[in-house]
Amino acid sequence: MNNDFRQYSELYHHGVKGMKWGVRRYQNPDGSLTPEGKRRYFNPDGSLTREGRKHLNKRFGVSKASGALRIGAGVAGLGAFNAAAGTFNKVRHVTKANNYLINKSKQIGETMMKSFGNAKISDNLKNVLAKRVVERVAKDPEYIKHVEKAFKFEKYAKNGLVALGVGAAVAGIALHKYHKNKKRLEQNGRQYIDLMRTGKMQAKDSDSAVTKRVKNDYNNLTDQQFMNKYGASKSTYMKRVNKYGDPYMNSPLAKIGKALNKKAKSEVSRQKSKIDKQRTALKEKEFKYTKNLLEQYKQEGRDDLEIAVGPKGDYIIRNKDPKKRKANLKGYRTVKI
């Protein structure tokens, strides 16, 4: 028998009432609200409705962080309760086990001593008998029951401590996220509300020149034109603005890019300084060689020669008298030695 109830010639669809394919109910792709969205998120006096506040908190991650904080605090509280309850019950059953061992051993010991009557018993024999009595009581089901429960609640308490640690860690991280997202909401929430109401992104005085230019294009270009120019949709850029305030200055990739650019400039400056030092050393070496050559000429009786330096830093030996120079090179000046 074929139990497959599906009919492959039929199409099944599930949605919400009033839903239409390709039609956004509350928000357009650029972040502005549809007429129905404005009625949903704004009161007639312009203030946010309950749904509007929920949407704003969700958009900036405040709701998510708050939920994680509640979960972490709940797990930590439950773990603390389990740890306390486990420790208390462990101590209770350990005490019961010890009391049972003492009382039962005492009862058996008294019965055993009566059986000896007035006979003298050595200390060694007493110790052996006491040890055997304790071993016998330790095998008693009532004693074993209390010991097993003590171990059970010890494990219960350890698991509670683990839950307490995990819950506290989750709550700590969530609290940090909550304050961080709350701060972003305070800084950029008004801008996002204006965007929802008007569909226009307002530039702030604190924005960088690049961000101001992108926001201006956001307001004037279509979504496709904005995508072609910047490689991101308007909704994606809107999320970046909500997250970083000024994406050009504060986003992780921008910070990496600036760091790499700074490093590249530093490397270029270092290489330039290195090359300048090499050139200076080379010029000094060239001048020293030219000076030694001039000294040789002077030893030969040529006192009519001098050293001149050109516009590119090259050195030559020439006659002091311009009329006797073979070639009148322009831009060369005499170097005083």
Instruction: Tokens 């208390």: give the residue.
Output: 88
| Coil, strand or helix at 192 | helix
Tens-place pLDDT, residues 109-126: 878 777 777 677 777 877
Give the Å distances, CA to CA, from 17 to 13, 40, 61, 101: 12, 16, 28, 71
With a CB cutoff of 8 Å and minimum separation 6, the contacts of 129 are 109, 112, 121
Q: Mean pLDDT for the chain?
A: 82
Q: For residue 151, what are its two tokens?
A: 């171990």
Q: According to DSSP H, which parts of the chain are helical?
A: 35-41, 50-59, 62-116, 123-138, 141-198, 209-220, 223-230, 234-244, 247-250, 252-299
Q: Report the side by side order of strands in the sheet with 305-309.
A: 315-319, 305-309, 333-334
H/E stretch holding 205 reads: none
- Give the HSE-up count for residue 70: Cα atoms under 13 Å, Cβ half-sphere: 5
pLDDT(325) > 80: no
State pLDDT tens for residues 5-60: 555 566 666 666 666 666 667 777 666 778 888 888 888 888 888 988 888 888 88
pLDDT, tens digit, 9 for 90 and up, residues 71-91: 999 999 999 999 999 999 999
Give φ, ψ of 331 to 5 degrees.
Answer: 90, -5
Q: Return the half-sphere exposure (C-beta side, CA atoms, 13 A cut-off) of residue 280.
A: 6
Q: SS3 for 32?
A: coil
Q: What is the pLDDT of residue 8?
A: 59
Condensed to tens digits (0 to 9), the pLDDT of residues 158-212 reads: 999 999 999 999 999 999 999 988 888 887 788 778 777 777 787 888 888 888 8
Task: Give me 97's structure tokens.
Answer: 């086990």
Where in the chain are the domains?
62-187, 201-250, 254-334
pLDDT above 60 (res 2)? no
330: left (phi over 0), alpha (psi -120 to 50) or beta: beta
Q: What is the pTM of this model?
A: 0.54
Cβ-based burial of 156 (10 A; exposed 0-12, middle 13-18, buried ≥19): middle
pLDDT for position 205: 83
